[in-house]
Amino acid sequence: MKNLRKAVFPVAGWGTRFLPATKASPKEMIPLVDKPVIQYAVEEAASSGIETMIFVTGRGKRAIEDHFDSSPELELFLKEKGKDLELEEIKKISSLARCIFVRQREALGLGHAVLCAREAVGDESFAVLLGDDVVDAQVPVLAQMMEVWNRYQKPVIGLMEVPQHLIPRYGIAAGEEREPGVFKITQMVEKPAVEEAPSNLAIVGRYILTPDIFEKIEESGRGALGEIQLTDALVAAMKDQGVYGIVFKGRYLDCGTKIGWIKSQIYAALKHPEMAEEIREYLKEMVDSWR
């Protein structure tokens, strides 16, 4: 097995889908129960064997750097107060992996954000994880994708089926199913209208890319929404060397929209050992009160 060592986290976006909450705070730091959403993606990468996390950040995103850094004052405080569990949690975050931060000076799109990580990535294959997309899975989605990548040695994207009305919110891909749930991609379109979509398979925020993607991003102009789109560079990679997609196993939690986030909170709280029971009772009480 060839190992992927590096993962890129584009975290410079404005978070417009979450305004006004994201006016002065990074959307990646919005919590899902008790952890910021970005931590789930970083943990997924770490548990899939990634050693170096490359964050593509921008202005107003310092909280992300602080979150993954060690915090000696807080650690000392917790130690003195005998809050051992909290201390352990806090220390675990900064020991997850080696972090590198690069800046995206202008928010020109996801493709452009990935391009900003070029030097830090170097000449090797790498993963891209979007913090908005959290997946509760027995085997981390990135690890599921690595398995396909090892077999085909081509870029791999994470896929899931979406209902029609959500098609325009995603990149949509279609292809030939080579084995159950694994597709050789033949079409990809960023945020198509429902009638133009080649399928209902959405690209979720998980990618394994080969380093030639950087040139392809440079060559692709502005696409959907006037932005430099990663999907457009992937179309070039598909024509050139081929791209695979895997319909991953796991529960997708959309933490990038208000409604998706509320649903994700409920889902995650119902799975949280200390909260599940009380939340279940509360929900029941709410439902009963509508009758």
Give the interface with ligand G1P as residue ranges (CB under 6 A): 110, 130, 132-133, 170-171, 190, 202-205, 229-231, 256
Burial 214-252 (b: 16+ CB within 10 A, else e): bebbeebeebeeebbbbbbbbbbbbeeeebbbbbbebeb
Least distance between ligand G1P and beta carbon 147 (Å): 21
Nearest of 100, 110, 116 to residue 50 by alpha carbon: 100
Least distance between ligand G1P and beta carbon 3 (Å): 25
- Radius of gyration for the chain, computed over Cα atoms and rounded to the nearest angstrom: 19
Least distance between ligand G1P and beta carbon 224 (Å): 8
Please say which residue, 36 or 223, places its beta carbon nearer to ligand G1P.
223
Please say which residue, 78 or 255, places its beta carbon nearer to ligand G1P.
255
Least distance between ligand G1P and beta carbon 181 (Å): 18
Q: How many angstroms separate the CA atoms of 54 and 56, rounded?
A: 6
Residue pair 38/131 in contact by the 8 Å Cβ criterion: yes
Please say which residue, 61 or 87, places its beta carbon nearer to ligand G1P.
61
Residue pair 117/209 in contact by the 8 Å Cβ criterion: no
Nearest of 155, 183, 146, 161 to residue 252 by alpha carbon: 161
Q: Is 196 helix (H, G, I), strand (E, B) or coil?
A: helix
Least distance between ligand G1P and beta carbon 225 (Å): 8
Least distance between ligand G1P and beta carbon 20 (Å): 19
Least distance between ligand G1P and beta carbon 130 (Å): 5
Please say which residue, 17 or 272, places its beta carbon nearer to ligand G1P.
17
* Phi, psi (degrees; rounded to nearest 5) at 197: -75, 135
Residue pair 169/227 in contact by the 8 Å Cβ criterion: no
Please say which residue, 249 or 284, places its beta carbon nearer to ligand G1P.
249
Please say which residue, 6 or 191, places its beta carbon nearer to ligand G1P.
191
Please say which residue, 54 or 202, places its beta carbon nearer to ligand G1P.
202
Residue nearest to ligand G1P (CB): 171
At a CB cut-off of 8 Å and minimum separation 6, what does 214 contact? 114, 115, 118, 121
